Amino acid sequence: MRKLRDWLIGTLGTTVMLLAVASVALLAMGAALTWANKHSLVSAAYVSAAVAAAPVVTKLGRSTSKSTLSQLQQRHKARKLLLVSPGQQYKPLRVAAVNPAHLRIHPAGVTTGASALTPVPYVKRDLHDTLAELIAAGSFVLLQGGSAVGKSRLAFEAARSAVPQWKMVVPEPPTTTPGALASLADLAPTRTLVWLDDLQRYLTPDGLTERVLDRLVSPQRGVSVLATLNSGAKAALGRSDAVSIDRTLRAEALRIVERAEYTGVFYIDAQLTATELDRANAAEDGDKRIADATAHNADDGFGPRLAGGPAALARWRDSRNGGNRIGAAIIDAAVNLRLAGYTAPIPAPMLLTLSREHLSARHRLFNDQVFRDALTWSCDSERDTRPCLEQVEPDRFEVFDYLTDHAQRYPESAVPIPPALWQTAIAEATIRQCFTIGAAAYNRKLLDVAEQAFNKAASANDAQALAGLAFVVSLDSARREEAEQLFRRAIDAGNKHAIILLAALVGSDPARLGESEPVFRRAIDIGDNEALYGLALLLARTLDPAHRDEAEQLYRRAIDTGDTRALYGLALLLTMDPARREEAEQLYRRAIDTGNKDALSGLAVLLGPERLEEIEPLFRRAIDTGDTRALYGLAVALSKVPARRDEAESLFRRAIDTGDTRALYGLAVALSKDPARRDEAEQLYRRAIDSGNTHALYRLAALLVSEPRTRGQAREFYLRAREAGIVDDPAGLAAIFSE
Alpha carbon dihedral 575, 580, 583, 587, in 10-degree steps, equals: -20
577-615 residue pLDDT tens: 999 999 999 999 999 988 888 999 999 999 998 999 999
Q: How many whole angstroms separate alpha carbon 143 and alpha carbon 234?
A: 11
Q: How many whole angstroms separate alpha carbon 548 and alpha carbon 550?
A: 5
Q: Round the average pLDDT of the chain to a whole number and report it.
A: 81
379-406 residue pLDDT tens: 988 766 789 999 888 889 999 989 998 9
545-565 residue pLDDT tens: 778 899 999 999 999 987 888
Q: In the predicted model, what is the mean pLDDT of residues 103-114?
A: 56
pLDDT band (50, 70, 90) for residue 18: very low
506-518 residue pLDDT tens: 877 777 877 888 8
What is the pLDDT, as a whole number, of residue 116?
45
What is the pLDDT, as a whole number, of residue 343?
86
Please report, in angstroms and rounded to a whole number, the separation of the first and last CA atoms in the chain: 32
Name which residue leads in pLDDT, 236 or 679.
Answer: 679
Alpha carbon dihedral 651, 652, 657, 659, in 10-degree steps, equals: 130
Q: In the predicted model, what is the mean pLDDT of residues 635-647?
A: 93
Neighbouring CB atoms inside 10 A of 655's CB total 26
What is the pLDDT, as a whole number, of residue 472?
92
Query: By three-state DSSP, how is residue 179 classified?
Result: coil
CA 217, 220, 223, 228 dihedral sign is: positive
Distances (CA, A) of 39 to 175, 225, 349: 15, 34, 17
What is the pLDDT, as a whole number, of residue 524?
86
Quick check: 264 and 159 in contact, CB under 8 A? Answer: no
pLDDT score of 52 more than 60: no
The share of the chain scoring above pLDDT 70, in percent, equals 82
**DSSP state letters, 318-387:** HIIIII-HHHHHHHHHHHHHHHTT--SPEEHHHHHHHHHHTS-GGG----HHHHHHHHHHHT--TTSS--
The CATH class of 15-40+429-563 is mainly alpha
pTM of the full structure: 0.68
Q: How many whole angstroms separate alpha carbon 250 and alpha carbon 238?
A: 8
Query: By three-state DSSP, how is residue 194 classified?
Result: strand
Q: How many whole angstroms separate alpha carbon 585 and alpha carbon 163?
A: 52
pLDDT score of 12 more than 50: no
125-174 residue pLDDT tens: 999 999 999 999 999 999 999 888 999 999 999 999 999 999 999 888 87
Q: What's the half-sphere exposure (Cβ side, CA atoms, 13 Å) at 677?
A: 12
Sequence-ordered list of residues with C-beta below 8 angstroms from that of 22, at least 6 positions apart, any chain:
242, 243, 247, 565
What is the pLDDT, as a whole number, of residue 185?
87
In this structure, which amino acid lies at residue 515? E
Q: How many whole angstroms separate alpha carbon 192 and alpha carbon 167?
A: 5
329-375 residue pLDDT tens: 999 999 999 999 998 899 999 999 999 999 988 888 888 899 999 99
The share of the chain scoring above pLDDT 90, in percent, equals 44
Sequence-ordered list of residues with C-beta below 8 angstroms from that of 448, at least 6 positions apart, any chain:
none
Name which residue leads in pLDDT, 247 or 2.
Answer: 247
pLDDT score of 422 more than 80: yes
- Helical H segments across 84-172, by residue range: 128-137, 151-162
526-536 residue pLDDT tens: 777 778 988 89
Q: In the predicted model, what is the mean pLDDT of residues 629-655?
A: 93
Enumerate the CATH 1.25.40.10 domain ranges in the chain, comma separated: 15-40+429-563
Sequence-ordered list of residues with C-beta below 8 angstroms from that of 383, at least 6 positions apart, any chain:
109, 292, 308, 311
pLDDT band (50, 70, 90) for residue 50: very low
pLDDT band (50, 70, 90) for residue 120: confident
pLDDT score of 117 more than 50: no
Question: 3-state SS of the chain: helix, strand, coil percent to 5?
Answer: 65, 5, 30
What is the pLDDT, as a whole number, of residue 570?
95
Tell me which DSSP letter residue 149 carries.
Answer: S
What is the pLDDT, as a whole number, of residue 62?
39
pLDDT score of 109 more than 70: no
What is the pLDDT, as a whole number, of residue 244?
33
What is the pLDDT, as a whole number, of residue 459?
93
pLDDT score of 25 more than 60: no
Instruction: Give the β-pairing of 192-196 and 167-171.
Output: parallel
Name which residue leads in pLDDT, 487 or 48.
Answer: 487
Q: In the predicted model, what is the mean pLDDT of residues 680-701?
A: 93
pLDDT score of 425 more than 80: yes
Q: In the predicted model, what is the mean pLDDT of residues 18-45?
A: 29
Q: How many whole angstroms separate alpha carbon 255 and alpha carbon 492?
A: 28
**Whats the size of the chain, residue-wise?**
739
Q: How many whole angstroms separate alpha carbon 328 and alpha carbon 314?
A: 11
287-335 residue pLDDT tens: 888 888 999 999 989 989 988 899 999 999 999 888 899 999 999 999 9
pLDDT band (50, 70, 90) for residue 424: very high
Q: What's the half-sphere exposure (Cβ side, CA atoms, 13 Å) at 116?
A: 25
